[in-house]
A and B are shown apart, each in its own frame.
Chain A
Amino acid sequence: EAGVAQSPRYKIIEKRQSVAFWCNPISGHATLYWYQQILGQGPKLLIQFQNNGVVDDSQLPKDRFSAERLKGVDSTLKIQPAKLEDSAVYLCASSLRTPENIQYFGAGTRLSVL
């Protein structure tokens, strides 16, 4: 079974530029998550989708971050414009809708904002 795919693996941009990350979840997983992980910290949930609907985006900085999952499969996360403090690893995860809520993570995209 293929895992969660993310691209790109690395991205370096200057502040005020825009950037987009892509995630392809495990086939059949209805729930998709985007996390931000700053170096040395635990991941912070940015947004959670159930199929193509948003379940939780309470920690998403909506003035600069946006995410979509139009067909209920792939998802993109965008930052516009980027700030220095956005430098982090952006992780995507997916899960089946089960009580155990086991999340499977991609390898992440490491973003450096200069």
Chain B
Amino acid sequence: EIVMTQSPATLSVSPGERATLSCRASQSVSSDLAWYQQKPGQAPRLLIYGASTRATGIPARFSGSGSGTEFTLAISSLQSEDFAVYYCQQYDDWPHTFGQGTKLEIK
């Protein structure tokens, strides 16, 4: 199965600054990559699909990039509501594996 590795495990950033999260696949997943945000006590929410397309209602400060095995989620000008755990997921091949998550915390 494809292993998704996210880095760093925890990222400390100040509000208003930019955050960059990484996700690496053990083999190519083309652009079949999604990013989710999960806040405590809530279900995950889809942010990005197709590696770079924002889901409905997602603010423009969220952007995704990459293809093949290397992907990035960037959040410009962090707002208080952006501090959460972020997961990447590949849906190119079964099983559709998730990364282990990156916790974005307030610095």
**Chains A and B come from one and the same complex:** no
Q: Which residues of A contact B (CB under 8 A)?
A: none
